[in-house]
Structure 1
Amino acid sequence: MSTYQHIAQRRAHVPVRQLCQVLRVAPAAYYAWQRRRQQPVVEPAWQLAVREVFAHHNQRYGTRRLRAEVQAQGHAVGRWRIRRVLKARLVGPAAALVCAPHHRLGPGRARGA
């Protein structure tokens, strides 16, 4: 239970200012938390479009391709905003293929020689 939830439960019996003082929380912070809880969180249309395009391409598209497709759908959004949204949702591209190194050391050739 968060501090703010504790204040919300006890406010019928104890004044909010007193609870905030005891719990070392600013009353303004508690009231701001209360306002945020009451407001519904609406996901912008461009974020929904980004998630749909990303899922449609099996989570393999990077920000450049995602931006191109989302902008083609009519949403004005940049790469860095798309990146920030994907990172905040802990969504990343699928693992890339592991490739062999471009050069190999032959017999008798030591690294750093």
Structure 2
Amino acid sequence: MFSTNSVRLGDVGFARTAEWRGAIARASEIVPEAPERMWRDNVPWLSPHLHDSPTGVHRADTPTWVIRSSESRTILAGTGNDEERACPPARGCPDTGFRDNLAAGTRPEQ
């Protein structure tokens, strides 16, 4: 489940890694006051990555960014996986193994 999207801006590279990815809840549970039509009208651009049309369940992910500079510096900007924090009830705070996956592909000395 270690996927990345990356971009380079000048001498700095940014790689987006998916720390966690999964189903959250139906639209009516995420924002109960939003009209159902609003969700239906936006399904074309939400599907298939953020919305599962057959079930009506929305998906999300929690990214961590790996930032590499030309000065041989590596910075991780993320959510603090495995640390105490408030977690959405729909997904809780799962131990995703993200740190081990990240360590396999990113080393501080790189």
Higher RCO, 1 vs 2 (CA within 8 Å, ≥6 residues apart) = 2
Give yes or no for TM over 0.5: no
Q: Give the number of the structure whose residues are more often strand, by fraction.
A: 2
TM-score (norm 2): 0.23
